[in-house]
Chains A and B, each alone.
Chain A
Amino acid sequence: MQTASAIPSTAQPALRAEAVSKAFVSGQQRTQVLAGLSLSINAAELTLISGPSGCGKSTLLSVLSGLQKIDSGRVLALGSELGQLDLRALERFRLQHTGFVFQGFNLFPALSAFEQVELPLNHMGMTRDEARARARRSLEEVGLAHRMKLRPSELSGGEKQRVAIARALAKEPELLFADEPTSALDAANGQMIIDILHRIAHTHGTTVLCVSHDPRLVIHADRVLAMEDGRILSDRRNHAPIIDSKEISS
């Protein structure tokens, strides 16, 4: 087991947080969620951040993906400092470089699986044919080639999450963020989702950062960061599958 916030000695990290602090204020109450946290995430890996609920892992994800501003410190994503970008520039950065998968699948009820995936591509300035080709390829990759014409109401939970992954994947992002992607799914479907995320990291060279408290995921991750009270407690690499996941939080 390595020490907390250790930086692996591989190439230039895709994501880097330097002394990041973030607090939420509600009324008189001020809650420090992240306190001077530093870490680096590598490309072409599936990194899992695990920890009990309220430990700040979702906040860390939103900060690293540029969805939320930080109070102090720096976040560098693909060499850009996110704190320097205004709202428009952040939107543009996300459009070009990032994909998201959320716990809820957040699919438009009116659109078919194919249209869900095609829709964000329309905004990336590619031709209609290219967008459609990419959408098809992406849905094939998650194993939904035969379900493309169906609406969310006709898909199972696992299939919906695969559509959501295809929607993120079709953008061919360098960074893919997933927040509790399996918590609404049964074991078999959860397994399938994590396999897909793992494969995306390895075949596309995508930096996949996944946040979850689901212990089933731990053995599939290339690297596991355990978080508690806004700090990284442990940072461990799975060179071979390790079954006992409880040691990091004990």
Chain B
Amino acid sequence: MVALARKTLIYEWRRFLPAMLAVGFAGLLQLLQIALVLGIFGSTSLYITGSSADVWVGYPGTQSVGQGRSIDADVASRILMDPAVERVEQYLWVDGDWRGPRETGGLSVFVSGIDPSANGLMFSRVLPLALRRRLAEPDAIIVDRSDLQQLGVGLGQYATINGHSVHVVGISQGLRALGGINVLCSLDTARRIDNDPTDNGPTYLVAKLRDPAQAGQVAARLRGDTAFGPYTTWSAADFASLSVRYWLFDTGAGAGVLFLAGIVFLVGAVITSQTLIAAVNGSVREYATLNALGVGVAALRRVVLEQAFWVGALGLLGAGLLGIVLLLLARSQNVPVVLNLPAALACILLVLGLAAVSGLAAMRSLRRADPATLLR
């Protein structure tokens, strides 16, 4: 079989270049957008992904980590009764009003009261052990380096949260939050900071399992018991994606992503289809001759679709290579970018869909390849 589509693409590459660039840039734009959004909104699940807990226990209906309500501390004994559970720990989330030593106005901070012991689960992946130990000291707090400016505070200085005096004993990294500032302290300190009279227990209980792979089953097994008051359970992975999804879709950011994806798709498809249509028109007499010789319209359509596919594939390749370089560059500059398999697949699907739609549009101009027109 003579590879008409590919040979034409190679021989007349200049003609197809705009389409490949359009597809490539559409893919690249989409890739970077998704990576950025995932990077930025991924920080909303930092509490979960930065910790080594496998199962989370919280108030039913909680939509994201920052929106928990207190549950009965006695639920812990119910959780511990399950043979799969190795350790249970309390986690207290307090919304705080920060007053720094310098004039900073009212700052909203998210106080995380955690177990400061060496084998504590919360933030175990982002908080070095030496820093963690310092939290055992009463009223000690740790903040992120990137938040120092906003908080107007330095190491060793004092500030107040909810009118309660606290002492910065450590500065960490990787604790940046979205919509507020994370402040870490011990459970005892957090309880003192908490001035909400309705809080009479931990916001969450987090559990470590003997076999982390069983998180889904164990979470399902522990759910639905109301003997200790209302609570529900999630596997860490489920709760993390719940939090990210909440931010994506309830803040409008997700709609923004989808909107931009639509625009990118539209612009890319217009450019690509116009290029492919021009390519078909440029060869319309040759196609008509083939049709006169009896080569069916269906076979000619396949040639156009194949060209569209190659344009998509080559554009994708370019976008992929450039995307990797740009993502690495972003990482090196501390820009939060994250790319996972579903997001990458979504990009690939979008680009190939764009090429397919453009190919279908170009196929329509094959109608002009009527061999009777060659005889006039």
Contact = CB atoms under 8 A, between A and B. Distances in A.
Contacts of B293: 94-95, 98-100, 120, 167-168, 171
Interface string A153-183: 0000000000010011001000000010000
B374 A111 contact: no
Given A59-B375, A115-B2, A118-B2, A108 B283 contact: yes
Nearest to B299: A123
Interface in A53-109: 58-59, 61-62, 65, 67-68, 88, 91-96, 98-100, 102, 104, 106-109
19 contacts: A58-B375, A62-B375, A91-B291, A95-B294, A98-B293, A99-B293, A102-B374, A104-B285, A107-B286, A108-B7, A109-B11, A110-B10, A111-B7, A115-B2, A122-B2, A124-B294, A167-B293, A171-B293, A179-B375
A98 B286 CA distance: 17
A150 interface: no
Interface of A: 58-59, 61-62, 65, 67-68, 88, 91-96, 98-100, 102, 104, 106-111, 115, 118-120, 122-124, 128, 151, 164, 167-168, 171, 179
Given A58-B376, A122-B1, A110 B295 contact: no
Contact of A119 (B285, B290, B374): B290
B296 interface: yes
B291 to A, nearest CB: 7
Given A108-B4, A111-B2, A115-B2, A62 B294 contact: no
Interface string B56-89: 0000000000000000000000000000000000
A92 B294 contact: yes
Given A91-B296, A91-B297, A106 B2 contact: no
B12 interface: yes
Contacts of A151: 11
Contacts of B376: 58
A119 B300 CA distance: 12
A123 B372 contact: no
Given A91-B294, A92-B294, A110 B12 contact: yes
Given A91-B297, A94-B294, A120-B295, A106 B1 contact: no
A106 B374 CA distance: 9
Given A104-B374, A108-B283, A67 B8 contact: no
Contact of B371 (A96, A99, A100, A123): A100
A61 B1 CA distance: 30
Given A59-B375, A62-B372, A123-B294, A102 B10 contact: no
